[in-house]
Structure 1
Amino acid sequence: MRRGACPSLEAPLHTGDGLLARLPPATLPPAAWVALARAAQRAGNGLLDITARGSVQLRGLSAETLDLAESLVPPEWPRGALVMTSPLAGAALDETADPHPLAARLAAAAPAGLPPKATVLVDGGGALNLAGEAADLRLVAQPDGWLLGCGMDWLGVGNADAACAAALHLLADMARHATRAPSAEACAAAAQRLRPAPPPAPVPSPEAIGLHALREGVALGVGLPFGRLEAATLIAFAEASNARALRGAPGRVLLALRVPDPAGLRRQAAALGLITDPDDPRRRVAACTGAPACGSALLDTRALAAALAPDVPPGGFLHVSGCAKGCAHPRPARLTLVGTPQGLGLIRRGRAGDTVAHHLHPQDARAALAREFAADA
């Protein structure tokens, strides 16, 4: 039931299909993604995941193949995941500011000893913003500087120097107390380095699937069905893209940047089984890895999700979880189906770990969905 650890090549996670290693989001040329896919084929089981935050996971590794995987993963792939930027950072036509310089300063000066999964978001704005992503600290580009947020509170706005100093003060407090929540005293001290400012205006949830205008050219986002990608599919997509770079994006999406023929690549992606339409029914279902790939799962989530996706109506949402951890969708969902020792559990408007309303046989799941979603009509 532990969800605090973050697996890596140096400290992989034991799962049902071997060892799992996660690499943070990275904007790299297609050749680097082909090399990553080759690593998955030679050192793992040929399967990769793009997570809800755009990280990439190699699956099916073993103690004997970890060194091989380390040697095959492109060396330019970043290993640290503390600081995360917008998926189209520095390239989006509509972003307020390029977050790369500030993000690099924070990553270079961050103190040692931060808790696992501590996260700082540096959000340049634009259509593919990070407003929907959870973080311990958040820096959001404004016309007059960078707005610093801590948890649910906004501390103030300042230029890059002031915002960086305030954020590093909070990170030092987090490292000193081994917590992901800075103390009230540290927040007050950080706020003194900034000017008071109102919270940012609400923005629509970003949709990464589709075309996105860049300062030079366009980007195409394609979805992965339930986050899973075969290495051969990744190789075919990367080689067909002729893109300047590829990147994983929040929502289990793969972005191709500066694509010379977006219409042709979209057709190729569809032929490969990738999601090219944001209204695809599979986008209305969140499903974790499930059994047998995950040792905690009590349910073959992906098979059930694929079978039920056509029955989830527009505006509906279904979470299929192999166990009560709810890794694929930690927030409440309109309807959750969860694997339990007693069988398939149904949860209304809750998380996978909430109280099960009742249990049902998998063959009755489609009828149950029809009844539940009909109540919303």
Structure 2
Amino acid sequence: MPAVTTSTAPRPTACPGLARIVAALDGGICRIKLPCGELSAEQACALADAAGRYASGVVDVTNRANLQLRGVRSGDESALTQALIDAGLGPDGRSDASGSTDQTAQSSQSATSLAADDVRNVMVSPAAGRDPQASIDTTPLAHDILERLRTDTRLHALSAKFALLLDGGERLAMLDHPHDIWLAAMPSAHAEAPLFAFGLAGCPPVAGDGAASCDVTRATLAAVEPQHAGMLVAALLHTFLDLAEPDMTRMRDLLGVRSVDELMRHVESRIDFPLVCHESIRAWRRAPADASLRLGAHRQRTDDLYHVGGQAPLGRLNAASLRGLAALARELGNATLRMTPWQSVLLPDVPSRHVTAAIDALSALGLACRSGDPLTRLIACTGSTGCAKGLADTKADAMQLALRLPAGVDVHLSGCPRSCAAAHCAPHTLLAVAPGRYDLYQRDALPLQSGFGCCVARHMTIDEAAAHLSRQPWSPIDA
């Protein structure tokens, strides 16, 4: 076995968390991680109350199907964290019900619990367990992995950015976000249940994607039987901690200095079950997904039940709209909400007789439920009103662009090169260079094209960008 490092100190991070309130121009930011993107109606109301009492009332849906509170007031950080823990939004999903009065024991339990919060980065389809196209329900595996992350204190040394994807083959799935570890259900010719193919530092390969054939970040390494998937993930996580230097936060960092073969030998030394690895697995491609299924009503696996979804404008809700969503979930669904990695919201388990009412109610709350709405094709970061690095008011500029956005065009507005709002590569990016001014980038079919793509126009106003987006064909200009 290769030499290992033994440090269990958490890797430094500037990411917001449940107790780590990060300062911004508009106040503190608190991030709430939702297991499988799920939020109960009761939790939604508690979150809305906390957002109004301790923060600005602004609630952002993130591109990992979590939530962020903005404008947390100085001095209210601890009270906010406690309110969220009391609402069951901490790593153990509940407040302390032990009744213990031992202050030292409670403090130790709280520290362990909050350390576990950072590593709860397991993403599934918002329709997991309900999508009729899925090969397997990934939610039991997701909760098994989340429990391992909570209880195995060595795993608390992972970075707050270290992320996992569990793909059950759903038609509604985000497949473009790179993950440190991904598992995807694939058919098996030798068993009734599908296998889980897996890879590192990338995304599952997709049929028809030219990048999949030459991009190492979309390579399938091997597969495992479903009953071994949780143990495989544990072995992969411990292998990363065994081999990674303390300053390495992501799997791609480790792969920069260690080969995939070396990592896999180390993984195999930690498991007592076989990995399935042959040419048909390496050649496997997942069926394409359809992000438009997050909008409107779509039948679930169970007869007469639908999930109904709407896009929050630029991913932003407020305390009132969150309470309204909670009321809808109670009245028309199963009293839960599902956040999505497109920064939208699903109401699951809506009976067919309530579908029209659900769409009308979501629209009344300001959510876009139809793919023709320009707001379903725009992403924008917080921008200069909330971030010191932002060079333009991207939220306001995106709303202006929505009035002129050509049909079928998807655009990402970023206030700086960090691209906080989009984990995937958008077809078009407007990168702020000054207030109200942007460079326009386009991504083309080049499989290994990096960053935002190719710059096609510079220092444009929003109106100029809208006009340019309406013109075809694209013609990159000289810098």
Structure 1 contact 323–352 (Cα < 8 Å) conserved:
no
The residue correspondences of 1:140-155 to structure 2 (distance < 5 A) are: 140-143=184-187, 144-151=194-201, 152=217, 153-155=219-221
Shift of 1:268: 1.4
Distance 1:346 1:28, change over 3 A: closer
| TM-score (ref. length: structure 1) | 0.89
The residue number in structure 1 matching 2:157 is 113
Shift of 1:341: 4.9
The residue number in structure 1 matching 2:62 is 51
Structure 1 contact 9–66 (Cα < 8 Å) conserved:
no
The Cα RMSD (Å) is 2.6
For each residue in 1:90-138, what CA deviation from the matched residue of structure 2 results, as whole angstroms up to 9, or x when unmatched?
Answer: 2333321121232233333343321231111112222222423321111
Shift of 1:226: 0.5
Structure 1 contact 51–250 (Cα < 8 Å) conserved:
yes
The residue correspondences of 1:93-242 to structure 2 (distance < 5 A) are: 93-110=132-149, 111-143=155-187, 144-151=194-201, 152=217, 153-176=219-242, 177=244, 178=246, 179=248, 180-181=250-251, 183=258, 184=260, 185-190=262-267, 193-196=274-277, 197-198=281-282, 199-207=284-292, 208-216=294-302, 217-241=305-329, 242=331
Q: In 1, Cα distance between the equivalents of 2:468 and 2:127?
A: 41
Shift of 1:41: 0.7
Which of 366, 372, 382 is equivalent to 1:273? 366
Larger deviation: 224-233 or 251-260?
251-260
The residue correspondences of 1:1-377 to structure 2 (distance < 5 A) are: 5-25=14-34, 26-73=37-84, 74-76=87-89, 78=91, 79=117, 80-110=119-149, 111-143=155-187, 144-151=194-201, 152=217, 153-176=219-242, 177=244, 178=246, 179=248, 180-181=250-251, 183=258, 184=260, 185-190=262-267, 193-196=274-277, 197-198=281-282, 199-207=284-292, 208-216=294-302, 217-241=305-329, 242=331, 243-244=333-334, 245-260=336-351, 261-341=354-434, 344-349=437-442, 351=451, 357-360=457-460, 362=461, 365-376=462-473
Where does the alignment leave 5 or more consecutive residues of structure 2 unmatched?
Answer: 1-11, 92-116, 150-154, 188-193, 202-216, 444-450, 475-479
Structure 1 contact 222–253 (Cα < 8 Å) conserved:
yes
Letter in 1 for 2:49: R
Shift of 1:352: 6.0
Distance 1:372 1:313, change over 3 A: closer
Q: Identity rate of aligned residues, in percent?
A: 29
Local SS of the residue matching 2:237? helix
Alignment: residue pair count: 372
Structure 1 contact 146–159 (Cα < 8 Å) conserved:
yes
Distance 1:159 1:6, change over 3 A: same
Structure 2 contact 18–90 (Cα < 8 Å) conserved:
no
Shift of 1:370: 1.1
Structure 2 contact 57–70 (Cα < 8 Å) conserved:
yes
Distance 1:376 1:24, change over 3 A: farther
Q: In 2, Cα distance between the equivalents of 1:209 and 1:125?
A: 19
Q: Which has the larger radius of gyration?
A: 2
Shift of 1:282: 1.4
| TM-score (ref. length: structure 2) | 0.71
Larger deviation: 138-147 or 326-335?
326-335
Letter in 1 for 2:224: G
Q: In 1, Cα distance between the equivalents of 2:231 and 2:323?
A: 42
Letter in 2 for 1:167: V
Structure 2 contact 174–289 (Cα < 8 Å) conserved:
no
Distance 1:318 1:131, change over 3 A: closer
Structure 1 contact 167–190 (Cα < 8 Å) conserved:
no
| Greater fraction helix | 2
Letter in 2 for 1:195: V
